[in-house]
Structure 1
Amino acid sequence: MDNTGRGRVAKPSKVRKMLGYTPEVREVSEAEDEVNRMSSRLLDAMGIPGTLTDLPAAAGPCDAVDPDFTTYYTVDHPWALGKADVGNFDTAMENLRSRLPGMGWRITKDGPMNSVARNPEIKAVHTTSGHHVAIRALKQRSGDLKPQISVTLISPCYQAPEGTDLSRA
């Protein structure tokens, strides 16, 4: 990496070695739209009613190769399903267990979180796109926090097209 300040980004020859893949060149808006669509399909797969937080997917730094967010980026989409009947959380998680593989996801973890509450957690990777998701049925939460199903969907690293100003993404 060039460590001279803003613009610290791994050289293209090292990016593949560091990430294990060559990032696809993709417009930020396209990558964000794809993550939003994937989130929608995950919500549908849960198959339970509730209120969705209204946060769209957003680009951020691909820290491994470009911590200053100048050339490479990822798209994160943290969201939650709240105001859902806690009794339906097990149904949502079971639906995900059975439906994710048919949607192209490989489940990498399915079990309790490493926490006092031991809430259920499913982690998966999309086999063709490389997106990762963590889904947690937070039935028991500390303090006044309400139960929810928490989802964090993260894209692989992408390379912004030449001339893209990621600070405006």
Structure 2
Amino acid sequence: MSDSDGAATKEKHPEQAKEHVRKLSSDVFDMVQLQGKVSPAGPATMRSREGEREYSVLHAWSISHLSDRELTRGFYRLREELPKEGWRITDFGHVNSTDRQLEVEAVHKKDEYSLSAELWVSNSGENAHASASKKGRIVFYVGSPTYRSPKGVDPDDY
């Protein structure tokens, strides 16, 4: 088995991959320095194909219940801190949607885990509104590369 680059897929226990995604998500939370409401969902294991041992882990979460200005500042702080914390920013800018929210995408240099963060505020510029927005939030997706579970370990059990 190999990934899209032809390299062999690394073997890793799904619980180890989930724990690493949790840690990276926690690091990202520390980088934005915001104390809003954090969504409660944890990382999920997703099997690549039914009956195979290949899987990846995704942790989708968000921070909300803050002013658009606070969220915007936290988002820009994240962009500044990512390179200092071992992440390579691969894309930054407005997504191709009618809302034109800002997005940053990055890859962790050490282990190829990925991050996508989207700023959902009424105005994604530096002059975002100071009042709390009901829809305002930063949405994060932290994901692992594809792994192969050890023999006898079903990724769906984790």
TM-score by length of 1: 0.81
Classify 1:30/1:124 alpha carbon distance in 2 versus 1 (closer, same or farther; 3 Å): same
Partner of 1:136: 118
Is the 1:23–1:157 Cα contact (8 Å) retained in structure 2? yes
- RMSD across aligned C-alpha pairs, in angstroms? 1.9
Q: From 65, 80, 86, give the equivalent of 2:62.
A: 80
Q: Which runs of 5+ in 1 are unaligned?
A: 1-11
Partner of 1:25: 11
Partner of 1:61: 47
Q: Which runs of 5+ in 2 are unaligned?
A: 124-133
Is the 1:105–1:127 Cα contact (8 Å) retained in structure 2? yes
CA offsets 1:105-141 (integer angstroms, 9 cap, x no match): 1101111111112111101111111111110010039
Partner of 1:114: 96
Deviates most, 153-162 or 21-30: 21-30
Q: Percent identity?
A: 25
What is the letter of the counterpart of residue 152 of structure 2? Answer: G
Is the 1:109–1:123 Cα contact (8 Å) retained in structure 2? yes
Partner of 1:8: none
Partner of 2:24: 38
Secondary structure of the 2:99 match is coil
What is the letter of the counterpart of residue 110 of structure 2? Answer: T
TM-score by length of 2: 0.87
Q: Give aligned pairs, total.
A: 149
